[in-house]
């Protein structure tokens, strides 16, 4: 819940508390009033109006200026009737007391500091008009006026800041959702289309002739698609996906069907081969199907990088480690390694194999990917997935 709805709730609490204080003063001093019966009738009006307006303010669609104007008018009317009810013997107090500040707060929350200050001026003018003795204004009236202006100004200013903060938060959530959806699509495209275009380009150059022309076209399309996927997300206000914008998740995404996948069996079914050795614990490693699918896809992206950059016959080892709070999959190859700075350069060029298909997937799952490589000593990719 945002701060502005909380301010409306706080106003309801303040209004009821202020009403209780006003009723206590009436019960204590009614015997000294010039018209005690009228005081009790006005007390009934205050109780009824408090109940009505508190209920009406619960719906944002009803917090409009006609209701706000009526709220202020009722408060000013009761305030103006105070001298007639109380009598001329005591002008230090008014019948509604601090209850008249409630509509000032309502105006401030609804319209900001300007409307809050305007409502405070209206109430203060009525208060000064009934208490002023000729050209002299009592000090207590001046103090009450200043406090009322402070309440209207500060409450309105806080409400304005809260509204802006909520808008900025919503815009940031939309940008984050758009970015996360783009990353998800980029991973899927990288796993299929981009890899295929890169392979066509490489094989076309090797074959030469017309195949080289096809390879050049495939390379141009690959570069265009990478640039498209690397563009910043749409600005705020554009339709965004419905994915969560909460940032890194503390737990893997839930599988609606509650399906479970055995990680080692899936890895062996997909990737075991003459050049890929898979090792793991003797016990099964069950994971939610959605989580296991993303983890297996990240492993596949790492193996694709080995096949593309090191050759299809490069020996590769997969190690699965299952701990009480974490599952770790390590991919180790016997290739030439990654030159220093190559991963950062690839990310800057829009090549998403590591940045999205591996690191991005683990980040979505609340885990991490650690890549260790030395030229001439192979590469190790460690995928860590916390269990909750």
Q: Is the pLDDT of residue 27 over 70?
A: yes
Q: Are residues 145 and 288 in the same domain?
A: no
Q: Is the pLDDT of residue 68 over 70?
A: yes
Integer CA distances (angstroms), 234 to 65, 192, 229, 337, 361, in order: 36, 24, 12, 37, 21
Determine, yes or no, domain membership for 261.
yes
pLDDT digits (tens, 9 = 90+) for 89-101: 555 578 888 899 9
Question: What pLDDT, on a 0 to 100 scale, did the predictor assign at position 248?
Answer: 35
Determine how many CB atoms are found less than 10 A away from the CB of residue 257. 9
**Average pLDDT over every residue of 210-238:** 63
User: How does residue 255 score in pLDDT terms, banded at 50, 70 and 90?
Assistant: very low
Cα dihedral value 241, 243, 248, 254, nearest 10: -160
Q: Are residues 156 and 274 in the same domain?
A: no
User: When comparing pLDDT for 226 and 135, which is higher?
Assistant: 226
Q: Is the pLDDT of residue 242 over 60?
A: no
Question: What pLDDT, on a 0 to 100 scale, did the predictor assign at position 234?
Answer: 47
The angle formed by the CA atoms of residues 221, 270 and 387, to the nearest 5 degrees, is: 100
Q: Are residues 280 and 156 in the same domain?
A: no
Determine how many CB atoms are found less than 10 A away from the CB of residue 205. 15
- Round to whole Å and give the CA distance between 33 and 95: 10
Domain boundary among 168, 188, 210: 168
Domain boundary among 119, 145, 168: 168
Question: What pLDDT, on a 0 to 100 scale, did the predictor assign at position 75?
Answer: 93
| Residue 100 DSSP label | G
User: 210: which residues sit within 8 A by CB, 6+ positions away?
Assistant: none
Domain boundary among 168, 183, 204: 168
Q: Are residues 292 and 162 in the same domain?
A: no
Question: What pLDDT, on a 0 to 100 scale, did the predictor assign at position 78?
Answer: 92
Integer CA distances (angstroms), 248 to 210, 291, 357, 384, in order: 47, 14, 16, 14
- Round to whole Å and give the CA distance between 359 and 355: 5
| The token pair that represents 27 in the structure block | 């019960």
Determine how many CB atoms are found less than 10 A away from the CB of residue 100. 27
Q: How would you classify the pairing of strands 368-373 and 379-386?
A: antiparallel
| Residue 290 DSSP label | H
Mean pLDDT highest for which of 196-205, 231-240, 332-341?
A: 332-341
> Residue 381: enclosing H or E segment and its boundaries?
strand 379-386
> Residue 260: enclosing H or E segment and its boundaries?
strand 260-262
Determine, yes or no, domain membership for 56.
yes
**Average pLDDT over every residue of 198-218:** 76
Task: Please state the domain count of the chain.
Answer: 2
Determine, yes or no, domain membership for 374.
yes
- Round to whole Å and give the CA distance between 270 and 315: 16
Q: Are residues 32 and 135 in the same domain?
A: yes
**This prediction's pTM:** 0.48
Q: How would you classify the pairing of strands 276-279 and 316-322?
A: parallel
Determine, yes or no, domain membership for 229.
no
| The token pair that represents 10 in the structure block | 């706080």
User: How does residue 16 score in pLDDT terms, banded at 50, 70 and 90?
Assistant: very high
Determine, yes or no, domain membership for 205.
no
Which neighbouring-strand residues pair with 278? 318
Determine, yes or no, domain membership for 221.
no
Going by C-alpha positions, the residue among 370, 368, 305 that lies closest to residue 337 is 305
Which neighbouring-strand residues pair with 384? 328, 368
Question: What pLDDT, on a 0 to 100 scale, did the predictor assign at position 188?
Answer: 64
Q: Is the pLDDT of residue 206 over 90?
A: no
CATH number of residue 320's parent domain: 3.30.565.10
Task: Supply the range of the domain harboring residue 120.
Answer: 3-168
Determine, yes or no, domain membership for 47.
yes
Q: Are residues 253 and 343 in the same domain?
A: yes
């Amino acid at each position: 819940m945002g701060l502005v709805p909380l301010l409306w709730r706080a106003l309801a609490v303040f209004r009821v508390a202020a009403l209780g204080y006003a009723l206590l003063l009436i019960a204590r001093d009614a015997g000294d009033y010039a018209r005690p019966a009228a005081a009790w009738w006005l007390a009934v009006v205050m109780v009824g109006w408090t109940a009505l307006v508190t209920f009406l303010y619960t719906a944002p669609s009803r917090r409009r200026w006609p209701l706000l104007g009526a709220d202020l008018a009722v408060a000013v009317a009761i305030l103006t009737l105070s001298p007639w009810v109380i009598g001329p013997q005591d002008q230090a107090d008014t019948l509604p007391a601090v209850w008249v500040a409630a509509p000032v707060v309502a105006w401030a929350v609804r319209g900001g500091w300007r409307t809050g200050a305007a409502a405070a001026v209206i109430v203060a003018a009525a208060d000064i008009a009934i208490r002023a003795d000729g050209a002299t204004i009592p000090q207590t009236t001046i103090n009450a006026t200043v406090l009322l202006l402070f309440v209207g100004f500060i409450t309105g200013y806080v409400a304005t800041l809260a509204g802006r903060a909520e808008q900025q938060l919503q815009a940031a959530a939309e940008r984050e959702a758009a970015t996360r959806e783009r990353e998800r699509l980029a991973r899927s495209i990288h796993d299929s289309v981009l890899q295929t275009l890169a392979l066509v380009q490489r094989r076309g150059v090797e074959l030469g002739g017309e195949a080289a022309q096809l390879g050049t076209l495939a390379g141009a399309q690959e570069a265009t698609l990478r640039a498209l996927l690397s563009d910043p997300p749409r600005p705020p206000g554009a339709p965004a996906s419905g994915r969560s914008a909460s940032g890194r998740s503390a737990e893997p995404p839930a599988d609606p069907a509650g399906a479970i996948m055995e990680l080692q069996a899936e890895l062996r079914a997909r990737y075991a081969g003459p050049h890929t050795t898979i090792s793991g614990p003797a016990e099964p490693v069950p994971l939610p199907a959605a989580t296991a699918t993303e983890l297996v896809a990240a492993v596949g992206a790492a193996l694709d990088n080995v096949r593309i950059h090191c050759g299809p016959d490069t020996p590769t080892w997969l190690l699965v480690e299952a701990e009480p709070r974490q599952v770790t999959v390590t991919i180790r190859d016997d290739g030439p390694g990654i030159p220093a700075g190559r991963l950062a350069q690839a990310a800057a060029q829009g090549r998403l194999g590591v940045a999205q298909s591996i690191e991005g997937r683990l980040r979505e799952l609340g885990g991490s990917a650690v890549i260790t490589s030395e030229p001439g000593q192979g590469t190790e990719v460690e995928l860590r997935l916390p269990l909750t």
